């Protein structure tokens, strides 16, 4: 089964969106790097982005049937969404929360994650490496 890599709102604008915080890579660049990293580990990935909370919930439900694990960057919904917390809790595959930026070092409204307490683990603040280490963490969960 593939690893689903799900991305929330505004991440489609990476590259032009606050590059001093999020870097110059586009989401397509991140998708390509994830596919390459996973390929070396004999894994496939299904990489998606939506600006809509309900779509992310539907994808988590789909992942329950079709994914071995989920890498999840919920964007700003991280800090607002009980519904995403519940969806992450509701599914069987391990979910690794990832963030490009170090949210704990930013505005106080980013300090709380509703997703963290439902996820198996979180990797935050490492840019692209958060995603690549997220893939490693997902495989770790599957093999231990
Ligand atoms: C983010 C951090 C969130 O606080 C923010 O709303 C984002 C991106 C990150 O990857 O650093 O949209 O999830």
ipTM of the complex: 0.99
CATH code (residue 50): 3.40.50.9100
pTM equals 0.97
d(CA 51, CA 75): 9
Q: How far, in Å, from the CA of 76 to the mean position of ligand 1?
A: 6
Q: How many domains does the chain have?
A: 1
What proportions of the chain, in percent to the nearest 5, are helix, strand and coil?
50, 15, 35
Handedness of CA 140, 88, 10, 54 (dihedral sign): positive
* Predicted confidence (pLDDT) per residue in 44-97, tens digit: 999 999 999 999 999 999 999 999 999 999 999 999 999 999 999 999 999 999
Is the CB–ligand 1 distance for residue 110 below 6 Å? yes
Q: Structural domain of residue 33, as residue ranges?
A: 3-143
Residue numbering of the annotated binding site for substrate = 73, 79, 86, 100-101, 110
């Amino acid at each position: 089964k593939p690893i689903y890599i799900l991305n929330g709102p505004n991440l489609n604008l990476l590259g032009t969106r606050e590059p001093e915080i999020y870097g110059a890579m586009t989401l397509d660049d991140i998708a390509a790097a994830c596919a390459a990293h996973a390929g070396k580990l004999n894994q496939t990935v299904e990489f998606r982005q939506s600006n809509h909370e309900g779509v992310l919930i539907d994808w988590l439900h789909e992942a329950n049937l079709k994914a071995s694990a989920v890498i999840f960057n919920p964007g700003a919904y991280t800090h607002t969404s009980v519904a995403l917390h519940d969806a992450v809790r509701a599914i069987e595959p391990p979910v690794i929360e990832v963030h490009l930026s170090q949210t704990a070092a930013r505005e106080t409204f980013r300090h709380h994650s509703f997703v963290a307490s439902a996820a198996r683990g979180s990797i935050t603040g490492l840019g692209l490496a958060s995603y690549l280490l997220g893939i490693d963490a997902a495989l770790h969960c599957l093999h231990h």
